[in-house]
């Protein structure tokens, strides 16, 4: 029988997308020149190159990997991804986000973990520097929290700094958040984001266009920024230097005809040079959540602040929460309890996500009002 019929067009699209050196442009040319993707299973390299217009060396690479052994290995991997809770979505699948289909370079394949229903809910992105000031952290968390209260899904890149604080702000208000990664869906980067990664899988959605196992690479992050902006109605830049990758996200948003918002900052702060420049260039200056909401009168949201239920605390959470009145240092908590640093930190993070306490600089914590 050979390899014809071994995989269907959908599986073959995922396979091509997963091959090193085969990018979206190559797949674009193949799909534009063939009636069905399965046709390539009968081609030799020269024939594939001439038929589709792709580079001969790329065609040779594809044909060499279109053999029974490699395809069966791929089908095994596809099955394993499913067991790990990884959903694979192609551009032609019903679950593929409609917003992303509108951009110039949508990904042919997305790998996800979490709630796919969030693709159907209006989303806004919050991005910024990896080295924020206390002001930037506070603003990112508060904006994410306030927007979540109105039903927005908060999208960001799960990087250090503003990205992480945006995700945390959404989760603290019991909101929903989407993290778009610049590496494989099963790779946690940076490593310290393990807890927030797990929290997002539980209460949000992780997205990547890179196959599982793909390690971070500097070139991947600017590319993933088009997905961050592409999934959303608008992009908010909280703090950014003049060379920040966040400005790339803002540029993609403009090219995609999406709204761009910027938080003003001190003219003496390097972290605000980029955001202040965006405002000078026409981005909307925002100081509160209503500055954002008024740009979307066609989206009907109502605040759920008054309908929130009191969260329940575990026994260990109650014990630590009862110790926190005025400011208290994490080392003081460890000294008073027979728990390790990692155990105490995990409980403190849970209390933060439940919006019961907040972390202060220097390892201090205090109750929220």
Per residue in 198-214, pLDDT (tens digit) is 999 999 999 999 999 99
Taking alpha carbons only, the member of 209, 29, 31 closest to residue 107 is 209
Cis peptide before 190 (omega within 30 of 0): yes
Average pLDDT, the chain: 91
Closest CA to 301 of 150, 184, 83: 150
Q: How far apart are CA 148 and CA 144, in angstroms?
A: 6
Q: Are 314 and 320 in contact (CB under 8 A)?
A: no
Counted residue by residue, the chain has a size of 369
User: Is the torsion defined by CA of 317, 319, 325, 327 positive or negative?
Assistant: negative
Q: Is 315-367 CATH 1.10.240.10?
A: no
Q: What is the pLDDT of residues 4-62, one digit of tens each?
A: 678 899 999 999 999 998 999 999 999 999 999 999 998 999 999 999 999 999 999 99
CATH code reported for the domain at 112-307:
3.40.50.450
The domain segmentation of the chain, as residue ranges, is 1-83, 112-307, 315-367
Cβ neighbours of residue 248 under 8 Å, at least 6 residues apart?
222, 225
Mean pLDDT of 335-350: 80
For residue range 292-333, what is the model confidence (pLDDT) as tens digits? Answer: 999 998 887 777 654 443 567 888 888 888 888 778 888 888
Q: What is the pLDDT of residue 101?
A: 96
Using only C-alpha atoms, what is the Rg of the chain?
23
- CA dihedral for 83, 86, 89, 93, sign (positive or negative): positive
**Percentage of the chain lying above the pLDDT 90 cut:** 75
Whether residue 267 contacts residue 255, with contact meaning beta carbons closer than 8 Å, is answered with no
**Quick check: 200 and 180 in contact, CB under 8 A?**
no
pTM of the full predicted structure? 0.81
For domain 1-83, give the fold.
DNA polymerase; domain 1 (1.10.150)
Residues 6+ apart with CB under 8 A from 23: none
- Write down the pLDDT at residue 1: 41
What's the rounded mean pLDDT across residues 73-78? 95
Give the pLDDT mean for 216-245: 96
């Amino acid at each position: 029988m050979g390899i014809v019929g071994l995989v269907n067009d959908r599986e073959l699209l995922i396979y091509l997308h997963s091959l090193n050196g085969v990018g979206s442009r190559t797949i674009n040319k193949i799909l534009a020149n063939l009636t069905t993707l399965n046709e390539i299973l009968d081609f030799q390299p020269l024939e594939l190159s001439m038929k589709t217009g792709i580079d001969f060396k790329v065609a040779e690479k594809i044909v060499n990997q279109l053999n029974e052994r490699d395809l069966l290995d791929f089908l095994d991997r596809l099955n394993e991804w499913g067991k790990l809770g990884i959903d694979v979505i192609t551009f032609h699948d019903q679950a593929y986000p409609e917003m992303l289909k509108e951009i110039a370079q949508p990904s042919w394949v997305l790998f996800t973990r979490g709630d796919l229903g969030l693709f159907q809910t209006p989303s806004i992105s919050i991005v910024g520097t990896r080295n924020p000031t206390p002001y930037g952290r506070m603003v990112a968390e508060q904006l994410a929290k306030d927007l979540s209260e109105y039903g927005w899904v908060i999208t960001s890149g799960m990087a250090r700094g503003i990205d992480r604080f945006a995700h945390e702000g959404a989760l603290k208000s019991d909101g929903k958040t989407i993290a778009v990664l610049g590496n494989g869906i099963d790779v946690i980067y940076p490593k310290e984001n393990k807890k927030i990664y797990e929290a997002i899988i539980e209460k949000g959605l992780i997205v990547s266009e890179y196959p599982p196992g793909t390690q971070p690479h500097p070139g991947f992050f600017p590319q993933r920024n088009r997905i961050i902006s592409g999934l959303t109605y608008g992009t908010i830049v909280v703090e950014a230097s003049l060379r920040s990758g966040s400005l790339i996200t803002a540029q993609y948003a403009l090219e995609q005809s999406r709204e761009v918002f910027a938080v003003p900052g001190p003219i003496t702060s390097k972290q605000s040079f980029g955001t202040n420049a965006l405002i000078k260039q026409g981005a909307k200056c925002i100081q509160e959540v209503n500055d954002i909401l008024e740009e979307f009168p066609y989206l009907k949201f109502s605040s759920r602040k008054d309908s929130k239920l009191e969260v329940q605390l575990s026994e260990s959470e109650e014990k630590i929460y009862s110790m926190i009145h005025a400011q208290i240092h994490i080392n003081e908590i460890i000294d008073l309890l027979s728990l390790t640093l990692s155990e105490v930190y995990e409980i403190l993070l849970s209390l933060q996500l439940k919006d019961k306490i907040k972390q202060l600089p220097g390892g201090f914590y205090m109750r929220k009002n």
